[in-house]
Amino acid sequence: MSNLLRARIFVAMGLPLACVACGKDKVAEQVVPTASVTEPVTSASTPVVPVVPVGIGHPTGMGGCGSEIVCKDDAGPKCAATIPEDMDGLGVRAGAFDQERTDERRKTKKNACCYKAPRAHCGGGRPLRALDDTAIVARAISRADWIDPALEAAAHDDARAAFWLREAGFEHASVASFARTSLQLLALGAPSALVAATHAAALDEIAHARTCFALAARRGAGERGPDRLAVADAPLATTLEAFVRDTFLDGCAAETEAAIEARTRSESESFDAVERAALARIAADEERHAELAWRSLAWAVRTGGEAARDALLAALDARAVSELVSSCARALIRQPTQTTTIAL
């Protein structure tokens, strides 16, 4: 999967496929590996409950996706100092005990223990980042207009419902992230094909969000949809350098990883047939979105010259990314004078 996606990215950037292998070999030792994706599993005990996102940046996170408070309601009277990596498949890294949230939770759940855990990955879609690099996500509220038509019934599963609500929130935020990207492209005088493809991707993300809310509903979440999204907290910088940074972090890094994650999950037996089919559709879209991000980045780097390449290098050095993402970025940087026409 990674090798095929790498080749597709090189084609999208207008780079010769002969560069794929050399790009991979030359940068492998310079990259901080991405945390492996753990498939969500259903806990036999009382499920872990994601409570609310918190505004804490994580310097080694993919694209700056912040942290979550997670609570385990049956932990017992004594809480451990930390939670393990990706506890119960929630997609978070090991986190520290949070006394304040635990005290609040124990007003209704006497054996609860809560932790502040950095997210292991952004979730689906292109993240919408705040000024401090944390992810902006709307909370889920009672509403039915963001749910696709009823899907085949499934067994009630609180942990899986919470997982799909989390994914739905990220997919919903991606709509705004693509809208923001289209404004940046327009401000920079980008080719019309890039603007059109960006708007089409936003429509894909609406469909993804509706699908995820529906998948949450069939697992027992009820009719849920997004509350108001704090788009005013997302900066709209329209310089070429800002566009390069945002496109690399939010599109090239986050969406490439999201595409791989969705494809891997679509082939996992831990999801049922309805969920796997939905994930396969989402994965195909995210792969196209990743290609679009790399195509847009290549246009910006060739348009902006030395300043754009410096901005890309700064973004690459400031964030831990996978070997796949790093090798593609460095291949583009090494060929600043490449004149191959990019199919827009």
Evaluated on CA atoms 307, 312, 317, 318, the torsion sign reads positive
Buried-exposed string 295-334: b where 16+ CB fall within 10 A, e elsewhere: bbbbbbbbebeeebbebbeebbeebbbbbbbbbbbbbbbe
Under-50 pLDDT residues of the chain? 23-64, 87-90, 338-342
DSSP 206-218: HHHHHHHHHHHII
Given this model, what pLDDT does residue 153 score? 80
Given this model, what pLDDT does residue 256 score? 92
Cβ-based neighbours of 162, under 8 Å, separated by 6 or more? 47, 49, 50, 90, 216, 221
Given this model, what pLDDT does residue 293 score? 97
How far apart CA 42 and CA 161 sit, in angstroms, is 10
| Cα distances (Å, whole numbers) of residue 3 to 57, 104, 231, 340 | 31, 47, 35, 22
- Say whether 312 sits in a helix, a strand or coil: helix
pTM above 0.85, yes or no: no
Find the DSSP H helices in 217-253. Answer: 240-246
How far apart CA 48 and CA 57 sit, in angstroms, is 22
Cβ-based neighbours of 76, under 8 Å, separated by 6 or more? 111, 113
Q: Compute how many other C-beta atoms are within 10 angstroms of the C-beta atom of residue 33.
A: 10
Given this model, what pLDDT does residue 131 score? 82
| Cα distances (Å, whole numbers) of residue 87 to 18, 39, 119, 343 | 41, 11, 11, 43
| Cα distances (Å, whole numbers) of residue 49 to 88, 145, 243, 255, 334 | 10, 25, 36, 26, 46
- DSSP conformational letter for 29: G
Given this model, what pLDDT does residue 220 score? 93
Given this model, what pLDDT does residue 37 score? 27
Query: Amino acid identity, residue 215?
Result: L
Reading the block at residue 302, the tokens are: 């060739």
